[in-house]
Amino acid sequence: MWKKILYTLFVAFCLPSFFTQGVHADVAPPIQVIWNDNSLPEVKVIVKEGRVYLPLRKTTDLLQGVTVWNKKTNTITIQRPETTISLNIGSKSAKVNDKAISFDSPPFVMQGVTYVPLRFTVTAFGIDVSWNAKESLVSSLQFNIPN
């Protein structure tokens, strides 16, 4: 009797595993950032809802700008000689040189790091950005940052 019970349990638990197929998910390659012909492997890139985000500090460094954080209003201001951008965490609107602009990728904070949408932020300063989906490559098309 015990042999029948053990045999039935063995078949019930082991047999289904013979018929399952392995599932392999395609893993997207990591996104590379190229700026002024230099690869930036140390940059932590996040893709959220199909948009590429970079840490605010790194973005400001690349732009050779200055960042001002207003804790009361959750406002980020990025300044360069000719352009000033003001963004609010979680907001889909910004000001570029005091002109209101809407966009679809709001800045956010994750693990204490503020992330800003790369394309919106960089193009607001007049710098072109390209995206190569095949190679998961973001690159700056302008080699000299305008002052």
Tens digit of each residue's pLDDT (9 = 90 or more) over 109-136? 999 999 999 888 888 888 877 766 665 5
Is residue 120 in some structural domain? yes
DSSP β-bridge partners for residue 101: 94
Percentage above 70 pLDDT, the chain: 63
Could you list the residue range(s) of the whole structural domain that residue 104 is in?
43-140
Is residue 121 in some structural domain? yes
Number of structural domains (the chain) is 1
Is residue 9 in some structural domain? no
Give CA–CA dist 96/28, Å, rounded: 33
pLDDT greater than 80 at residue 25? no
HEC letters along the chain: CHHHHHHHHHHHHHHHHHHCCCCCCCCCCCCEEEECCEECCCCCCEEECCEEEEEHHHHHHHHCCEEEEECCCCEEEEECCCCEEEEECCCCEEEECCEEEECCCCCEEECCEEEEEHHHHHHHCCCCEEEECCCCEEEECCCCCCC
pLDDT greater than 60 at residue 101? yes
Is residue 66 in some structural domain? yes
Per-residue pLDDT, 59: 85
Give CA–CA dist 37/85, Å, rounded: 25
pLDDT greater than 80 at residue 28? no
Give CA–CA dist 52/102, Å, rounded: 17
Whole-model pTM: value is 0.70
- Contact between 46 and 115 under an 8 Å Cβ cutoff? The reply is yes
Is residue 73 in some structural domain? yes
pLDDT greater than 70 at residue 76? yes
Is residue 28 in some structural domain? no
Among the listed residues 6, 57, 52, the one whose alpha carbon sits nearest the alpha carbon of residue 30 = 52
Per-residue pLDDT, 12: 56
Is residue 19 in some structural domain? no
Is residue 98 in some structural domain? yes
CATH number of the domain that residue 61 is part of: 3.30.457.10
